[in-house]
Structure 1
Amino acid sequence: MIELVLVGAWGALAMFVGTLKWGWGAMAGALAILALCLDPRNGSVIIFGLAVIAVVMMRKNTMPARFIPLLVYVAVGLLFAWPDYNGKLSGAVQILLVVAAWTVGLHVARVSALRLNDLLRWLAVVIFIIAIIQLVVCILQTAGVPIFVTGERTAELTEGRANGTTGHPGSLGKVLFFAAMLCLPLTRSGDRINRRLSYASLVLIMAAVGLSASRTNFIALLMLVLVWALIIPSAKSKGAKIVLPGVILLVGLFFLEPILERFDEDPMGGQRARFMSVALQVIGENPLFGVGPNGYLPYAGDIDLLTGQGWRVHNVFVLQTAELGIVGAVALFLPLVFAIFAALKVWRKPDFNSDFGRVMIAAIPGVILMGVTGWGLWQGSIPALWFFAFGLCYGLMTMVRNAEGPNDQSTIDPFVYRVRPALRGAKRS
């Protein structure tokens, strides 16, 4: 309780001072990323707080309209479709959290339109700090220092692997994947400090993921960087297209042996086929509305003994389909699909803010890989970081043109927000 009060007090002070000096957008974005990347189990408190402030500040057109069907669906499901069971309300709160995280990311992009350089600098600095902290903690854990110790059950399954501050090696890799996603566009920034901090952050992130020995996250991070290097414009991008992938691959080689050892120990991924069979049975019995958020284990535990001990299907997309049904899963993930389609429309443009569309495209293979090999993308505050990262990138891609010289405030997608009236109001104030 004391820790929560201290975090809240620090956050309130940081936002107050930051709003005066650096702007609300920069400080809100920095605070959200710090909370979600350093403590993904408790970062939801910060996200909900920022979302409430965003709602108060924006007054109208606050929430992306594409999430309204999801919220209506969940409300109807809670009232009429899903039975009572332990965890139903917390599961619904988790869904509300991802909507809040997307809203915060989008709002940060919107209010930073006139002070975008502040936001970009804060992104570069904060992600660099996160990378340093996580790597230092990983090194200490690898050396045997009992810091950020995991639970007994997790410790038995992940012995010898670093988990940073997240409580699980797999969670660490996913957190750092989205940190790297936000970092990559800054490698093409016109600001030399932003570029250097971003390059350094990516190297540190790769080393931390290597110490976690998470094979899926390791491969996902490599895919993110390599796809990014392939799709960015060639002009003035030799460092990002050639040097960065080369350095990341070189750093990855130092950690290749423990990754390969894990493949030798468990080439088929344990009981994944068994868990998938159980999940498909659950979906077949409840195709439209599912068994309810957080209802998978209570329902599937009666079908399979191992599932009853806490083992979910190792596929976050199948898991959400089982819990929310086909209708709910479509409503949950469709906004991400819309964001990707919007990115595909601009990814060939050479301007800086289109880089945030390109990085969403580059993240697709890694997100799919992490999603189809485990349920970690829906643990703790990790889904909030996932949706926050995509919401922020989508906002920076669509809300602001000429990102490093915000004279032109035209938008690509007016469906989400009406930006110009808000900007005129900001200029008058």
Structure 2
Amino acid sequence: MSTLAWFAAASLAVWVWLLLGQGFFWRTDQRLPDASPRTRARGGGDDGGPARGETWPAVVVVVPARDEAGVLPLSLPSLLAQEYPGRAEVIFVDDGSTDGTGRLAAGLAAAHGGLPLTVTSPGEPAPGWTGKLWALRHGMALARARGPEFLLLTDADIAHRPDSLRLLVAAARDDDRDLVSQMARLRVASSWERLVVPAFVYFFAQLYPFRRVNARRPRATAAAGGCVLLRTETAVAAGVPDAIRAALIDDVSLARAVRAAGGRIWLGLAERVDSVRPYPDLGELWRMVARSAYAQLRYDPLLLLGTVAGLVLVYLVPPVACVAGLASGDAAAAWAGGLAWAVMAGTYVPMLRYYRQSWWTAPLLPFTALLYLLMTVDSAVRHHRGRGGAWKGRIHTGGRAAENGEFTPRHGE
């Protein structure tokens, strides 16, 4: 066999393993149930609520926000309109916004009513803290003073269906989970969003298979930061957010801290939680991924090289081998590359269906993977130029300094 055929065969072997041996990451069935079997067994209603006579636990929702005036009218009213039978309120933490985010939040609460809303501000982050986690620290401290059993940590660009909070709490109590997190359904309106966003969630699930996260004996640990229901006493035991104060990938770091404290975790795809943040062009999506891609690799050049090589072998070799093999008459390369490409596309179809996209776009996944490869390399370049982690006017340095508590935010462009 030719060298190309051997590479194609290696890629096919990897895809067979991914198909069968990586926790069935490609399936999209890890979702909150409409009603809890345990709840129904206790005589509760079909809405996922507790049995008659039982009380719902108190919940405080904490929303960190920085310059979110553009999305708040689409997201915050849905959060205030939660149909939750127990005591619930919202603490909105304005993280130094310059666009009137805090005033807008207060105005939306006055106009729409619903859950009580408190708007507060923590001031500039202290040394060693990312802006979001500094805002969460402030909001969680205020929330704990209210004595809630649960905290809902949700981003300012996340819209919730009216029963979202109720089903989250029911799932946590019925399955005795300390952290219940949902991967919000991201917006897929523009052409670039349709090409890039489903793949983003697909790659995340491949890295952290939801079934392995949720297993009784878990083999992976992750959460989705846009929607996290967290038991208050577990947060205290895990020392969060202080224990993860410098983390750019705060959701995965939060999940690891909770699990290290003995907490049980559930992660799934959302049916009632949606991100309303638009990414109309490739540049916006590129910056979103490049901001934290190198942090995911722990700022390690060797891991970067390994990741690039892995992406080339797994995603780029199959189409290249298939096309080149057909053009040159190399049957082995064409067959191995074509089969690997077919398995790849087949595993992508369930995620496309979840995002209500056409299945025939699945063969385009190698092109999207190439974009992510370039975004990852760009993330490393930005880091080494001192621009890593730039987001909304702040630059967050990373690497060993952050891990050692020497992390310092500074203002960027």
TM-score by structure 2 length? 0.29
Determine which structure has the larger helix proportion and give its number. 1
Determine which structure has the larger strand proportion and give its number. 2
TM-score by structure 1 length? 0.28
